[in-house]
Amino acid sequence: MKEMLQNLREASIRAILDCEDAELLESLRVKYLGKKGELTSILRQMGKLSPEERPAMGQLANKLREDIEEAIEDRNKVISALRMERRLIAESVDVTLPGKKQTLGHKHPMYNVLDQIKDIFIGMGFEIVDGPEVELADYNFTKLNIDEGHPSREWTDTFYFTEDSSILLRTQTSPMQIHAMETKELPIRMIAPGRVYRKDEVDATHSPMFHQIEGMVIDKGITMADLKATLNLVVEKIYGKGTVTRFRPHHFPFTEPSCELDIQCHKCGGVGCPTCKGEGWIEVLGAGMVHPKVLAGCGIDPDVYSGWAFGMGLERLALGEYKINNLRLIFENDRRFLEQF
């Protein structure tokens, strides 16, 4: 038995010292010291020894176990050091190489225009308000003097959530005018930018989701002249002094009188092109004097107070600001397009 222990010592120590892999080293530990290992197999033969031999063989076996465990521990340290050395070599960095260029993002061109508009109106004493995109039909239509049967209330034009057409995705940010008149003290000067939704077909100037900016002033003695002067000032600040505009008579249920503001096409200079659909002008916004019925419905005396309101499409302003000829480019997230700004 003594010879068997000696042979096991030589074989195990040699195998451990030659091992260069942590997993293989663990398998050697199991092979030699496990419950079914070689040392255990030898110890099972202790019963064949005489009582006088057993203590001596037991000491030799315990010493062999300690030596094998110590050899495994030492070799494990060596293997860890070798592994770290290889890793340092493999992951070494040449500090003389140039670093990777980090590309910084920037604001979307549409939001550049929005920030510009906010600055313009804040400079004129306006307040910026925000509200829900899921709105009640009462606020989106009824309180804006848009009665049942109006084309804009049809399911073909509006995204409804309920069968009774009472809850919808707002088609305009005009509901914020009603919220403001019902909750704020007079006088009111506010703009309400935000997303709106209509069932429009996608083309160069339309999208089923777009951004709108509503503005409103309610005070004593407000006239159409105030509206035209304010809008012309805003357009000149956005597009530059001398920008050509025109006001056309129109009809909106919530304003009386009503008008639309066009700017001369930035692409063709009024000659006519695909961007302006051959008209030479691009519609920017609708506006007018707040209808007396809308004022009265919000608890404001139309004989004492008057006001004007407008609604403009933010995307169309961006088209003009950056000479973009297709609205779809704003939503397609094409980096070749966006990186120009």
Residue 243, Cβ density class (10 Å: 0-12 exposed, 13-18 middle, ≥19 buried): middle
Q: How confident is the model at residue 217 (pLDDT cuts 50, 70, 90)?
A: very high
109-338 maps to which CATH number?
3.30.930.10
CA dihedral (234, 237, 242, 246) in degrees, to 10, reads: -20
Q: Which residue has the tokens 């920008």?
A: 243
Of 9-18, 31-40, 115-124, the poorest mean pLDDT is in 31-40
**Model pTM?**
0.65
Q: Looking at residue 1, what is its pLDDT? A: 66
Do residues 191 and 121 make contact, with C-beta atoms less than 8 angstroms apart?
yes
pLDDT exceeding 70 applies to what percent of the chain? 98
* Residue ranges of domains in the chain: 2-90, 109-338
Cα distances (Å, whole numbers) of residue 327 to 207, 239, 279 = 8, 18, 17
Cα distances (Å, whole numbers) of residue 27 to 19, 34, 36, 70 = 11, 9, 12, 16
Residue 160 DSSP code: B
Tell me if residue 322 falls in helix, strand or coil.
Answer: helix
Q: Looking at residue 47, what is its pLDDT? A: 66
